[in-house]
Amino acid sequence: MKLLLTIVQDADGIKLQKALIENGFRATKLATTGGFLRAGNTTFLIGVDDAQVARVKEIVAKTCQERTQMMAAGPSISSLEDAYMSQPLEVTVGGAIIFVLNVEEFTKL
């Protein structure tokens, strides 16, 4: 069994949740925050048999899109950096980040 720790943009969360349910997969949806943008994102915990990993990846790829997001510049450490650092930065986010973890045991009590 594998656990697919899947991080997606909030805008794709509902669509992915619906697609997983429609395809018979169980998942837990968590509200999370990206460390870089410090903006909300959505993390799914999806437990599946090894043979289903590829199918879940397909569903994620189909429902989650790459987008660009503007990032407000942070405070600079010197005045020389001011001109560069005060420009907002364009960052490409997603479609999705997937960590595939081996599950040692799955128990339902």
Using CB under 6 A as the criterion, which residues of the chain lie in contact with ligand 2BA when the complex forms? 7, 34-37, 41, 91-94, 97
- Residue 26 near residue 47 (C-beta atoms within 8 A): yes
Select the residue whose beta carbon is closest to ligand 2BA and give its number. Answer: 34
Nearest approach in angstroms of CB 7 to ligand 2BA is 4
- Closer of 14 and 31 to ligand 2BA (Cβ): 31
Give residue for tokens 């990032």. Answer: 71
Smallest separation (angstroms) from ligand 2BA to the CB of 88: 13
- Taking the C-alpha atoms of residue 98 and residue 26, their distance in angstroms, rounded to an integer, is 16
- With CA atoms as reference, report the closest residue to 43 among 72, 3, 71: 3
To the nearest whole angstrom, how small is the minimum distance from the Cβ of residue 93 to ligand 2BA?
Answer: 4
The nearer residue to ligand 2BA, 24 or 35, going by C-beta atoms, is: 35
In this complex, which beta carbon is closest to ligand 2BA, that of residue 49 or of residue 62? 62
